[in-house]
Amino acid sequence: MTSPLRPAITLLVLMTLITGVAYPLVVTAVAQVAFPSQAGGSLVRDSSGQVRGSRLIAQGFDGPNWFHSRPSAGAFATVASSASNYGPGNPALAERIGKDSAAEQLTGQGAVPMALVTTSGSGLDPHLPPAAVDYQVARVASARQLPQDTVRGLVAAHTETSLIGPPVVNVLALNMALDSLPKNLSKN
Q: What is the pLDDT of residues 19-68, one digit of tens each?
A: 999 999 999 999 889 988 777 777 777 777 787 777 777 787 888 888 98
Q: Look at residue 128 and give its three-state secondary structure.
A: strand
- What is the DSSP code (8-state) at residue 66? S
Mean pLDDT of all residues in the chain?
A: 82
CA-based torsion, 170, 173, 178, 182: positive or negative:
negative
153: left (phi over 0), alpha (psi -120 to 50) or beta: alpha
User: Please, which residues bridge with residue 160 across strands?
Assistant: 168
Note if the pTM is more than 0.75. no
Give the burial class of 29: count Cβ atoms within 10 A of its Cβ; 0-12 exposed, 13-18 middle, 19 or more buried: exposed
Q: In 52-167, which ranges are continuous DSSP H helix?
A: 91-104, 130-134, 137-144, 148-157
CA 60/CA 26 separation, integer angstroms: 36
**What pLDDT score was predicted for residue 185?**
62
Q: Reply yes or no on whether the pLDDT at 123 is more than 70.
A: no
What is the band of 88 on the pLDDT scale with cuts at 50, 70, 90?
Answer: confident
Phi, psi of 145, deg, nearest 5: 55, 50
Going 85 to 87 to 92 to 97, the CA torsion angle's sign is positive
The reported pLDDT for the residue numbered 84 is 64
* Residue scoring higher pLDDT (180 or 141): 141
CA 22 to chain centre: 32
- What local confidence, expressed as pLDDT, does residue 186 receive? 57
Identify the residue with better confidence: 159 or 116. 159
